[in-house]
């Protein structure tokens, strides 16, 4: 666990970038561009907050049940950012609506199944 004051680099995978784009497009169509901008701003703020204390996130239940504790999550309800802390880097793999059944998505995207 990192000491206080340690700063991490936060990066997103191509898949997480696509998640953001898809989310923006969906929200813009159904809730309006202003709403989509607001949600995306909050998700970006949440991601950037991981530069300090990224270990504060919980382990995703779907992975913890399989004994996998390499990944963590932060939540801006109903959205979840699934990430992994490696050395001084936080890699965001998924940005998804937490109301979805995530078991197969997590398996495909994180575990390469």
Q: What pLDDT is attached to residue 112?
A: 66
Alpha helices in 1-113 (DSSP H): 14-31, 33-48, 61-64, 103-111
CB 46 within 8 A of CB 77: no
35-90 confidence digits (pLDDT tens): 999 999 999 999 999 999 999 999 998 889 889 899 999 999 999 999 999 999 99
Task: Determine the pLDDT at residue 2.
Answer: 45
In the block, which residue shows the tokens 């990224």?
54
Question: 12 vs 3, 30, 33, 96, 104, CA distance in Å?
Answer: 23, 26, 23, 13, 20
How confident is the model over 13-30, as pLDDT tens digits?
999 999 999 999 999 999
CA dist 6 and 41 (Å) reads 24
For residue 96, give the H/E element and its range. Answer: strand 89-97
pLDDT band at 1 (very low <50, low <70, confident <90, very high): very low
Give this prediction's pTM. 0.86
Task: List, in order of start, the domains of the chain with CATH numbers.
Answer: 9-106 (3.30.2310.20)
The encoded tokens of residue 71 equal 């990944």
Q: pLDDT per residue over 97-110, tens digit each?
A: 888 777 777 777 77
């Amino acid at each position: 666990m990192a000491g206080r004051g340690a700063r991490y680099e936060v990066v997103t995978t191509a898949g997480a970038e696509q998640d953001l784009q898809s989310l923006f497009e969906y929200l813009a169509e159904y809730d309006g561009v202003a709403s989509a901008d607001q949600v995306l701003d909050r998700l970006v703020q949440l991601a950037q907050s991981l530069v300090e204390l990224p270990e504060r996130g919980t382990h995703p239940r779907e992975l913890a049940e399989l004994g996998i504790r390499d990944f963590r999550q932060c939540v801006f309800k109903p959205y979840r950012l699934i990430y992994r802390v490696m050395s001084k880097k936080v890699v965001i793999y998924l940005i998804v609506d937490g109301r979805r059944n995530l078991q197969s998505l997590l398996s495909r995207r994180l575990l390469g199944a």
